[in-house]
Structure 1
């Protein structure tokens, strides 16, 4: 068994309580199919999960478990936390919001639907630390971009080219005069834009 685990990668142990009837059914299925009890359970879980779907809000149709699966733990966490159907916890919502705010470190495009596995694999183990840096700086009036700079440093230490930060679209330089008085274009539109003829 240890040899199989070494071949396939990491495995986890799950302990469950079964009544004698359910245990017998597992043994029956195991003998009938010539499989271990673990294999019977794994395949039953996959078969049951394949029948449970959620609506694809972006393209229509249905998504199943394999639409959210990824070998990267961080990508899996982001995939699930971004969907209300999975009832994300407050901590998960904090992480997805941080990732969206700092999207160049987590996603390939501004639409935030293509994860950057090579960055996420480096950053995810310390995600809560980066969130804390960001929140501390916000609360204390520190460097607003400090968490991004810390993530840049982590990526560089891993010999990866870090994204520009702050991202050009994240910071819009405006003079104090522009901030006090919105331009007319910010609250009115030319009616000619809406007329189709």
Structure 2
């Protein structure tokens, strides 16, 4: 028989300093609404976040980004999504991680277009992401693929089938290169 499901999701403690007036207001709101102080604070945050929208004009009209567009249960996916939004002022470390992920995309995305995350890989690799980045920085001159090989081993240790690494470069085809390609003259000789 399996373990019973947890009654409450994992939560984190937050310590804040309040002046006596603000603390009184918080107690007042909790009593008035018949809620805990935690519930009052959580709902106030949700209400404020619902009204916080990043608007960007683009070629197809306005693109709006809210916290819900960036949220994912995977910590790594959340971090990557936040690091892609300039309005959230990503740090150097966040930009560095994003660059590493883009360069090692088979471990993080379903395709080179980088539209769909591979959460099962990310959940294994993300807790060690800075270690993999440091390995890449230290070894790229001797073995450019060392960090990728280390990630392959981490995925194997987690009993996951890793992606093919290193990625084999695709050769441009005449259709992809716009038709401007050199032809072998022997192809035109009939004998």
TM over 0.5: yes
Q: CA deviation at 1:16?
A: 0.9
Which residue of the partner structure matches residue 113 of structure 1? 115
Deviations 1:141-163 (A, max 9, x none): 21111111110111111111111
* Alpha-carbon separation, structure 2, partners of 1:30 and 1:58: 46
1:34 maps onto 2:34 in alignment: yes
Output aligned runs, 1:34-183, within 5 Å.
Answer: 34-55=34-55, 60-138=62-140, 141-169=141-169
CA distance in 1, matches of 2:117, 2:83: 13
Any gaps of 5 or more consecutive residues in structure 1?
1-5, 173-184, 187-197
Aligned counterparts of 1:145 and 1:89: Cα–Cα separation in 2: 26
Tell me, in whole angstroms, the C-alpha distance in 2 between the residues paired with 1:82 and 1:37: 34
Secondary structure (helix, strand or coil) at the match of 2:87 reads: helix
Summarize the Cα distance change of 1:58–1:65 in structure 2 as closer, same or farther, 3 Å threshold: farther
Per-residue deviation, residues 70-124 of structure 1 (Å, max 9, x unmatched): 1111111101011111111111111000000001101112121321110000000
Mean Cα deviation higher: 30-39 or 55-64: 55-64
Work out the CA distance in 2 between the residues paired with 1:85 and 1:94: 17
3-state DSSP of counterpart to 1:8: coil
CA distance in 2, matches of 1:33, 1:19: 21
1:20 aligns with 2:20: yes
* Distance in 1 of aligned mates of 2:110 and 2:151: 16
Q: CA deviation at 1:58?
A: 8.7
Structure 2 CA distance for partners of 1:55 and 1:109, relative to 1, 3 Å: farther
> How far apart in 2 are the matches of 1:43 and 1:58?
35
Q: The residue matched to 1:39 in structure 2 has which SS?
A: helix
Change (3 A) 1:13 1:71: same
